[in-house]
Chain A
Amino acid sequence: MTSISRRGFGGLFGASALGLAMPSLAFGAVPKVVVIGGGAGGATAARYIAKDSKGAIDVTLVEASKRYYTCFFSNLYLGGFRDYDSIGHGYDQLAANHRVNVVHEWASSVDNAGKMVKLASGGTLSYDKLVLSPGISLKYDSVPGYSPALQSRMPHAWTSGTQVQLLQNQVMNMRKGGVFVMVPPPNPYRCPPGPYERVSMIAHLLKQHNPTAKIIILDPKAKFSKQGLFMAGWEKHYSGMVEWIDPETHGGIKSINGDTMEFVTDLDTFKADAASVVPAQRAGSIAMAAGVTDGDWAPIIPATMASKADPNIYVLGDASVASSMPKSGFSANSQAKVAANAIRGELTGSRVYDPRFANTCWSLIATNDGVKVGANYKAGSEKIDVVDKFVSQGGESADLRKTTYEESVGWYNGITSDMFS
């Protein structure tokens, strides 16, 4: 309602006509921001907009789940380095500390012209600015034969939730000397090193409980993130256990049979005792519904993270086209702060500082053997561009690898408190 009257005023006496930064302030209405998705991007955006505007902006966060189980560190759960509860987070503090209005519902569509979000329950929320950080949805049929019906037999465990518990259980129940098949996704996808960290953590489990078991990776990609570091780590810690097969060699997966657990390729038919299939990905469905995607992902203006299709919508995290920034929780959190700064500037006239982005992805290969890759970025006119980058090196000391792992634990605590506290 408020935003409808605001639009009315705006039409009659626009901001420039009155010489005021914000008509809404002039008429006493508090501008509204709705954020869809309470993950790495959305929770951070809601928190920063609410915290820094100190009541000058009304922030509503729409998140389907009551608890957010981070995909980051879910591999560490898989390997037995974390318990499941320790990767779950609630939204109480966002409400209590920053007055974010948290709505646990599914957002089903967006009325761009009317600046309104429709909820699955039938309710609506009006906005002045809408932030979308819905993460990914899976293109199941990108792997022939894979489907939602197969996700309990061959968990993807690539979205927040209990899939990863299922996967751990299946690994633990493999027959002695059995075969685990991992199918990583094609580019671009959420968390480039993730599938290979997953393999490391499964190897870590199997080494203790089932040391004659094997892991076969049927990769659709000819190379992957931190490849040299992972391959050297597998050789060092899990010698003879992990076999990575590139697409040139296996010729592509022709079909999967969920009953027999068979993966048919040109090279061979692989029979698995347990498996994880991570299909290709695209932006979460609400980004499609809001009409901000071009193909699978949503193009953005680098300086603000505003959608190229609708100036009142901002797209963060995995769903956006952030060019050289990988789809990671760290990236989403970083982009959220840039957007929060821009949105506050637009709605309240607060000072907008230079946009800056960063990312670091840590991976754990074995106990106390952590590696990292990172970069920082600036907003170019068309793309987000790399300023500087680094990656762990082969042959680093055990001490440095341990420190790197410990840093990742510090980062986990840091980012989750930056999202939820």
Chain B
Amino acid sequence: MGKVNLRGHIVGLVSLRALAIASAFGVMSGAVAQADLADQIAKADLGYGEYLAGECVTCHRKSGTGIPQINGIEAETFVTIMQAYRSKDLDNKVMQMMAGRLDDEQIISLAAYFSSLPE
């Protein structure tokens, strides 16, 4: 149930734009890229993800208003969203700045960590 709600929320918020951005990036376009990403997520350093997440949980918490909760977001979607903030295709100054200095390895570690948490 929670999952469906969360997906609904993400779709509501970033909707088709994020998907368009994703394909522009080539992240989730094509089976090869996707398999590659899945592989990197599987190999990611969860400890690093947890450390980096320290920066995020000042704002993102399990539930609440004003800032979406991000636990349990499916990892590839997470990567797509973060890359879209980084490229400023998604529009929030705080998130553009937070994502702006994350490299792909860091985003993948974060995605692996947050996707492993219960919603």
Contacts and interface: CB of A to CB of B under 8 A. Distances in A.
A337 B54 CA distance: 7
Given A410-B64, A413-B64, A390 B93 contact: yes
B101 A353 contact: no
B25 interface: no
Interface in B66-101: 66-67, 93-94, 96-98, 100-101
Given A372-B93, A374-B94, A414-B59, A408 B66 contact: yes
A417 interface: yes
A330 interface: yes
A210 interface: no
A414 B57 contact: yes
Contacts of B65: 406, 409-410, 413
B55 A388 contact: no
A407 B66 contact: yes
A358 interface: yes
Nearest to B101: A387
A126 interface: no
B58 A330 contact: yes
A358 B66 contact: no
A418 B100 contact: no
A356 to B, nearest CB: 6
Contacts, number: 79
Interface of chain B: mostly helix, strand, loop or mixed: loop
A358 B67 contact: no
Nearest to A375: B97
A161 B38 CA distance: 50
Interface residues of B, number: 23
Interface range on chain A: under 10, 10 to 19, 20 to 34, or 35 or more? 20 to 34
B57 A418 contact: yes
Given A411-B58, A414-B57, A360 B94 contact: yes
B67 A411 contact: yes
Interface in A330-385: 330, 333-334, 337, 341, 351, 353, 356, 358, 360, 372, 374-376
A388 B100 contact: yes
Contacts of B59: 360, 407, 410-411, 414-415
A353 B46 CA distance: 12
A418 B64 CA distance: 13
A388 B97 contact: yes
A391 to B, nearest CB: 8
A372 B93 CA distance: 9
A103 B100 CA distance: 41
Given A407-B94, A411-B67, A413-B66, A353 B51 contact: yes
Contacts of A376: 97-98, 100-101
A411 B97 contact: no
A176 interface: no
Interface in A384-412: 387-390, 392, 406-411
Contacts of A410: 59-61, 64-67
A83 B64 CA distance: 18
Interface string B17-49: 000000000000000000000000000000110
A374 B92 CA distance: 12
Contacts of A387: 101
A351 B59 CA distance: 25
A48 interface: yes
A353 B101 CA distance: 15
A390 B97 contact: yes
B96 to A, nearest CB: 7
Contact of A390 (B54, B55, B94): B94
15 contacts: A358-B97, A360-B94, A374-B94, A388-B97, A388-B101, A409-B66, A411-B58, A411-B59, A411-B66, A413-B65, A413-B66, A414-B57, A414-B58, A414-B59, A414-B64
Interface of B: 47-48, 51-52, 54-55, 57-62, 64-67, 93-94, 96-98, 100-101
Given A414-B58, A418-B61, 20 more contacts: A334-B58, A353-B48, A353-B51, A358-B97, A358-B98, A360-B94, A372-B93, A374-B93, A375-B97, A376-B100, A388-B100, A407-B59, A409-B66, A410-B64, A410-B65, A410-B66, A411-B59, A411-B67, A414-B60, A417-B62
